[in-house]
C-alpha cells in the first residue's frame, strides 16, 4: 500500500484506473495490476474528495476490499451492499462514476450514499446503518429459485454491528441458511492484535476447499473416515475460541472466518474466492484501518471521517460563530453543574451532537450506547424511573428508529426524558436519508409530549432549559449548522411553557406563525409586506391565547416550518382553529410531500419553497 503524507492538490496520473469504465474491466487483472489499481484508486480518491469534500476515512479503509470484490464477483448481476454507505466512494469510482465523483453531495450531482436509481451497481439504497444484512437476506431468499447462481455480499462495519437490527438479521440468516457472504469491516484498532501470523494461518485453513471437504462428511474421498468431520469441527471450535472472536457468529449458524488483513490483496483474493463457492451463510472478518494510506487520517480517524474541501482543512481560519450543537454542548455542561442527576446519552454521535466536553467533564454521567437508538430511549426511561434526569442527544432522523420505545417506554409512562433533536429539518449535502423532516409530525400525535422549536441560538438555550425542567417527555428540535448569530444569554432561565412571542405588528389581514429556525426568512417577509409575525416557540402546547387574539380577526394565517407540511405545526394550528370554530383560511409553508434531494441546505430550502423570496411571491398574490 502506498502511503501519502497529505491530500494531493493536483490531479494525479492514474493510467490503469483511467482504463477502467466498469468492474468487468478488472476481472482479468493480475495481482500486480490489482495492487497498482488500488494505489491509483487511493490517490484519486484523496484528490477528488479533497476537491469536493465528503466522506473520506471509510473509503480509504476499503480500497483493497472494493477492488477485490469487483474483481471476483459478477456485479451488477451479483448483489453488493455497502452498509451505511460512507465507504462507497471507491465503489462509485469503479462503477462508471469516476468522472462525476467530484459532484458528490452537490445539487444534481452524485448521491452521498449508494442509490438504486443512480446506478445498477447500487443494489440497495442506504444511509442509516445496520440494514445491509436484512436486505441481503431478503435478496438471497427471493432469488434462490429464479437465480441460484447469483451471489450476495454485504459489507458492514464494526460500528454498524452494534445495532440490534444487525443481530436480528444474523439470527434469521443462521436459521434460513441461504448462500451469502457477510464481510465485517473492522477498523477498530483496539483489536488489531488479533491480526497476525497465527490467526491468518488458521483463517486460510478454515477457508480452504480441502478443509471444507473434510467438514462435508460423506464426500467420496473421505468415506473411510466419517469421524473426520467431527474431529475437524471440534478442533476448529477450540482453535477459533483461542485466536478469533467468532464464536457468537458460529453459534448463530454462520461459518466464521478471520480475522484477516483487509489490506492484503492476495489474501483477500484467496479467501473470498473460496468463500464465494461455499454453501450456506459465510461470515468473513477483516481488519482494516480507517483512513488507510493517508498518515493524518490514520492518526485522526474521527476528524477525517468526512472533510470539507482541501482549502478549508488546510489552515483556513474557522468561523467563531457557534453552531447549534455547540450551543447544546455549552448548555448541557452548564446544566450538569447545577443538577447532579443529569445524565447525557447518545447513540454513537458524541462529536456530532456536541457531547465531547460533557463526556470529558462528567464521564460517569455520560453514556454512548453505540448505534442502538432503540436501547438509548428505553435506557433513558429506566434512568428516569429512578429519579435521574436523562438527556438523549440524537439526530432527528435517527430518533425515527426508536419510535416504539418513545411511545411505549417513555410517553405512556409520562417519564421525565429530554430529547435534544439535532439536524432537524433539511440538512443539506447528506440528503433525504439524513434530513430530519418528520419529527414534528411524528411527535405531536403522542400524548404527554412537549415540542419546542427554537428560532435562534439564544432561544435554543432557553428552550433546552424549559424542556429539561418540564416534568415529562419533551423535545427541542434545532437544525444543522449555525443560526442567525443571536447573542446568547448564559443564564439557565426557562420560558413559560406554551407561550409565543409577538415579533412584528402589522396588517391584521394575514398573520405569520413561525415555528423554528426559519425566523429570519419570516422576518424579511413580514417586514416588507407589513404583516403580523409571531414566533410560536412551541408546537405542543400551542399558545392558544395568542392564537385566539390574532386569528379571530384575520383572513389568513401563514405557518412557516422547516418540517413536513403533512401533520406538521401548521396542521396543528388548523386543528386548533377547527376546534375553536375560528373561520380562517391558511397557507402552510414547509417541506412538501416528497424527498428533497441532496444539495446545500439553502438550495434544499429553496427547492422546498422556503426561501423568503418564494414565500413573498406567494403571499403578494393575497395582498
Q: Which residues are catalytic?
A: 290, 373, 401
C-alpha grid cell, residue 287: 481488519
Residues 245-256 as b or e (16 or more Cβ within 10 Å = b): ebeebbebbbbb
Bond from prior residue into 259 cis (ω within 30 degrees of 0): yes
What SS3 string covers 552-618?
CCCCEEEEEEEEECCCCHHHHHHHHHHHCCCCCEEEEEEECCCCCCCCCHHHHHHHCCCCHHHHHHH
Q: How many CB atoms lie within 10 A of CB 225?
A: 12
158 contacts 249 by C-beta, under 8 angstroms: no
Strands, sheet with 538-540, edge to edge from the N-terminal-most edge strand:
366-368, 342-346, 389-395, 418-422, 474-477, 450-452, 538-540
Q: What is the SS3 assignment for 230-296?
A: HHHHHHHHHHHHHHCCCHHHHHCCCEEEEEEECCCHHHHHHHHHHHCCCCCEEEEEEECCCCCCEHH
Whether the Cβ atoms of residue 158 and residue 187 lie closer than 8 Å to each other = yes
Q: How far apart (Å, rounded) are the C-alpha atoms in residues 494 and 466? A: 4
Task: Give the three-class secondary structure for 424.
Answer: strand
Cα-Cα end-to-end distance for the chain: 67
Half-sphere exposure of 341 (CA within 13 A, CB side): 13
Amino acid at each position: 500500500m502506498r502511503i501519502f503524507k497529505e491530500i494531493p492538490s493536483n490531479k494525479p496520473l492514474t493510467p490503469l484506473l483511467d482504463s477502467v469504465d466498469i468492474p468487468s474491466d478488472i476481472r482479468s487483472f493480475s495481482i500486480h495490476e490489482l495492487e497498482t489499481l488500488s494505489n491509483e484508486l487511493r490517490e484519486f480518491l484523496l484528490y477528488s474528495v479533497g476537491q469536493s469534500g465528503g466522506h473520506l476515512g471509510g473509503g480509504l479503509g476499503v480500497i483493497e476490499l472494493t477492488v477485490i470484490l469487483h474483481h471476483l464477483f459478477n456485479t451488477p448481476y451479483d448483489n453488493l451492499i455497502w452498509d451505511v454507505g460512507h465507504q462507497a466512494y471507491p465503489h462509485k469510482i469503479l462503477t462508471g462514476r469516476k468522472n462525476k465523483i467530484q459532484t458528490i453531495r452537490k445539487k444534481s450531482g452524485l448521491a452521498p450514499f449508494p442509490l438504486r436509481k443512480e446506478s445498477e451497481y447500487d443494489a440497495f439504497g442506504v444511509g442509516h446503518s445496520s440494514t445491509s444484512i436484512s436486505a441481503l437476506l431478503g435478496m438471497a431468499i427471493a432469488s434462490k429459485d429464479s437465480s441460484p447462481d447469483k451471489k450476495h455480499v454485504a459489507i458492514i462495519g464494526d460500528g454498524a454491528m452494534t445495532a440490534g437490527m444487525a443481530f436480528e438479521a444474523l439470527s434469521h440468516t443462521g436459521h434460513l441458511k441461504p448462500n451469502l457472504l457477510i464481510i465485517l469491516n473492522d477498523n477498530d484498532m483496539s483489536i488489531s492484535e488479533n491480526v497476525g501470523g497465527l490467526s491468518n494461518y488458521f483463517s486460510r485453513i478454515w477457508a480452504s476447499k480441502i478443509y471444507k471437504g473434510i467438514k462435508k462428511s460423506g464426500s467420496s474421498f473421505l468415506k473411510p473416515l466419517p469421524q473426520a468431520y467431527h474431529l475437524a469441527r471440534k478442533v476448529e471450535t477450540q482453535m477459533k475460541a483461542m485466536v478469533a472472536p467468532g464464536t457468537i457468529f458460529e453459534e448463530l449458524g454462520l461459518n466464521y472466518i478471520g480475522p484477516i488483513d483487509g489490506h492484503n490483496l492476495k489474501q483477500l483474493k484467496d479467501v473470498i474466492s473460496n468463500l464465494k463457492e461455499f454453501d450456506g451463510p459465510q461470515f468473513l472478518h477483516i481488519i482494516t484501518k480507517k483512513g488507510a494510506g493517508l498518515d493524518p487520517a490514520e492518526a485522526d480517524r474521527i476528524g477525517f471521517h468526512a472533510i470539507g474541501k482541501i482549502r478549508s482543512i488546510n489552515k483556513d481560519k474557522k468561523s467563531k460563530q457557534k453552531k447549534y450543537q455547540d450551543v447544546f454542548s455549552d448548555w448541557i455542561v452548564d446544566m450538569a453543574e447545577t443538577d447532579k442527576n443529569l445524565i447525557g446519552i447518545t447513540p454513537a454521535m458524541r462529536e456530532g451532537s456536541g457531547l465531547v466536553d460533557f463526556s470529558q467533564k462528567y464521564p460517569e454521567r455520560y453514556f454512548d450506547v453505540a448505534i442502538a437508538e432503540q436501547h438509548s430511549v428505553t435506557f433513558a426511561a429506566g434512568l428516569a424511573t429512578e429519579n435521574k434526569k436523562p438527556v438523549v442527544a440524537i439526530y432527528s432522523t435517527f430518533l425515527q428508529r426508536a419510535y416504539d420505545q418513545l411511545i411505549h417506554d417513555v410517553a405512556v409512562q409520562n417519564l421525565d426524558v429530554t430529547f435534544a433533536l439535532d439536524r432537524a429539518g433539511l440538512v443539506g449535502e447528506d440528503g433525504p436519508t439524513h434530513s430530519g423532516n418528520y419529527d414534528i409530525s411524528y411527535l405531536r400525535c403522542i400524548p404527554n409530549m412537549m415540542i419546542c422549536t427554537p428560532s435562534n441560538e439564544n432561544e435554543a438555550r432557553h428552550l433546552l432549559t424549559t424542556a429539561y425542567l418540564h416534568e415529562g417527555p419533551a423535545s427541542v428540535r434545532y437544525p444543522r449548522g449555525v443560526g442567525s448569530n443571536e447573542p446568547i444569554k448564559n443564564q439557565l432561565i426557562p420560558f413559560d411553557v406554551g407561550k409565543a412571542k409577538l415579533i412584528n405588528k402589522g396588517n391584521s389581514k394575514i398573520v405569520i406563525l413561525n415555528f423554528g429556525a426559519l425566523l429570519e426568512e419570516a422576518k424579511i417577509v413580514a417586514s416588507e409586506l407589513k404583516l403580523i409575525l409571531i414566533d410560536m416557540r412551541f408546537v405542543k402546547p400551542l399558545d392558544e391565547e395568542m392564537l385566539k387574539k390574532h386569528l379571530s380577526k384575520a383572513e389568513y394565517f401563514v405557518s412557516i416550518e422547516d418540517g413536513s407540511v403533512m401533520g406538521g405545526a401548521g396542521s396543528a394550528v388548523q386543528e386548533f382553529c377547527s376546534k375553536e370554530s375560528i373561520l380562517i383560511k391558511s397557507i402552510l409553508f414547509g417541506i412538501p410531500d416528497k424527498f428533497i434531494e441532496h444539495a446545500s441546505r439553502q438550495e434544499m430550502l429553496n427547492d422546498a419553497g422556503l426561501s423568503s423570496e418564494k414565500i413573498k411571491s406567494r403571499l403578494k398574490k393575497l395582498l
